[in-house]
Amino acid sequence: MTYHKIIFGDSRRMTELADNSCHLMVTSPPYFNAPFDYKDHFPSYNDFLELIRDFANETYRVLDKGRIACINCDDMLVNGQKYPVVADVTRLFIEAGFRYRDKIIWRKPEGYIRISRRSGVMLQHPYPMYFYPDNIQESILIFQKGHFDYSKVDRGIKEASRIDKDEFQGNKWFLSVWDMVNRLPFLNKGNDNYPAAFPEELPYRIVKLFSYKCELVLDPFLGSGTTTKICMQLGRNSIGYEIDKTLEALIKRKLGIAQPKLQLGESDVIEFVYRERKQAKISV
């Protein structure tokens, strides 16, 4: 049985979590004023950086020693100006106390991107200085809180969490470039139509590579609940924060709460916590 808690509240104050209580953090913060998904969401770029600074400091507090924090983010082009989001997120997490461990490039299929007008400038003006590339990548930044003590892992848990070598090699997890199909609203017209959700493959790989069975995975920007769903599948416990309470119904659909559980076995327990009202526990 796994246990999952979803808190509708601001992750800049994760008061429900004790110091050093989480074993992995994986998330995708709101993209800074992305034209399609978060247009004018932040009053300024400094407001966005303040959010990242607060969430980085809280993540460092709640993450256990030696553990990993993964952030999916990307530089943003807003009103013709490019913002160095990846560089600034890296700087703020290092300032919070983390050490920079790695960066994975998530490469999206060319046929699934939102076509930009940027590259077309060169076709109209085939001369030097008119080049603007279309973006088909995002960054997965990997930070670590100190160093991990491998000797403290229980042998049984270690074996239960063994990573399949065929999957690791066949899907080329060993590379610093991961090819994964992104999700776009106009390609997902069903019940799961959250515009900025990352693909399930992203947290699937991160959770397998950086956590053990029954450990606690944190997602401070839960969105439609993708990280929680993956943790349920992989036998990890999870806690997610989401400030947008209107996503509750979507999260419940994604987690299968609105329909009977298909597989047999012990139930997963999901607890919904509302900072302004009573909490509710559901077994699925």
Question: How many other C-beta atoms can be found within 10 angstroms of the C-beta atom of residue 54?
Answer: 16
- What are the tens digits of pLDDT across the range 237-279? 999 999 999 999 999 999 988 654 444 346 789 999 997 655 5
∠ at Cα 146 (10, 162), nearest 5°? 90
Strand 269-274 and strand 277-283: pairing?
A: antiparallel
Burial class, 86, CB count within 10 angstroms (exposed 0-12 / middle 13-18 / buried 19+): middle
Contacts of 175 (CB under 8 A, 6+ apart): none
What would the two tokens of residue 96 be? 């919070």
Q: Which residues of the chain have pLDDT under 70?
A: 33-40, 111-117, 183-197, 258-266, 276-284
| Cβ contact 105:177 at 8 Å | yes
| CATH dotted code for 3-283 | 3.40.50.150
pLDDT at position 50 is 95
pLDDT at position 42 is 84
Domain ranges for the chain, please list them: 3-283
- What are the tens digits of pLDDT across the range 66-101? 999 999 999 988 888 899 999 999 999 999 999 999
pLDDT at position 49 is 96
pLDDT at position 189 is 46
pLDDT at position 188 is 47
